[in-house]
Amino acid sequence: MNNISNLILPIIVLIIILYGFIKKIDIYDVFVEGSKESFDLVLTMFPCLLAMIFGINIFIKSGILNDLFNFIKIGFVPTDIFPMIMMRPISGNSSLAILNSIFENNGPDSFIGFLASIIQGSTDTTFYILTLYFGSIGIKKIRYALWAGLFADLIGIVSAILMAKIFF
């Protein structure tokens, strides 16, 4: 099975090259043109991504999260899940790292592992989406998109807690 998965990408590239030869397309020029277009897109998105990463690092390094977790201690929800609840709307990579940490410390079959998995699947990276997509096309006024996204995340988290309590 490992050999098949290692061959899939080269086979796809070979099929694309053969298709280009059959259709008499200058594959190299088309590739270079596509690369130029993607470079412009990266240059457009980079300032938005940089601002978001900068904001996330300030938020994490300031220690505000630890103070907030100590302030909010809800008895029916394990406190180990709070970092994931707070970071999921901000950063997908951070929430995956927290999920991995929860799995390592408690196991994937524990209640908190089950709850963290549901939260990971039922919420989204709202701030990332707004920063990247709205910023890359130049929308400055996000209007109700932020509140709608955060409300959807809240509903996802509450639903995840309820589903974990019911099904675990």
Average pLDDT of span 111-121: 94
State which H helix or E strand residue 140 sits in: none
Exposed, middle or buried, 119 (CB in 10 Å: 0-12/13-18/19+)? buried
Whether the per-residue pLDDT at 92 is higher than 70: the answer is yes
pLDDT of residue 162: 92
| Least confident window among 25-34, 54-63, 108-117, 142-151 | 54-63
- Asked if 89 and 124 count as a contact pair (C-beta separation under 8 A), the reply is yes
pLDDT of residue 151: 95
| Least confident window among 30-39, 96-105, 109-118 | 30-39
Average pLDDT of span 10-20: 91
Count of other CB atoms within 10 angstroms of residue 108: 14
Whether the per-residue pLDDT at 4 is higher than 90: the answer is no
pLDDT of residue 86: 82
Whether the per-residue pLDDT at 56 is higher than 80: the answer is no
The pLDDT confidence band at residue 121, using thresholds 50, 70 and 90, is very high
Average pLDDT of span 94-117: 91
For helices 111-122 and 92-106, the axis angle rounded to 10 degrees is 160
Average pLDDT of span 23-44: 85
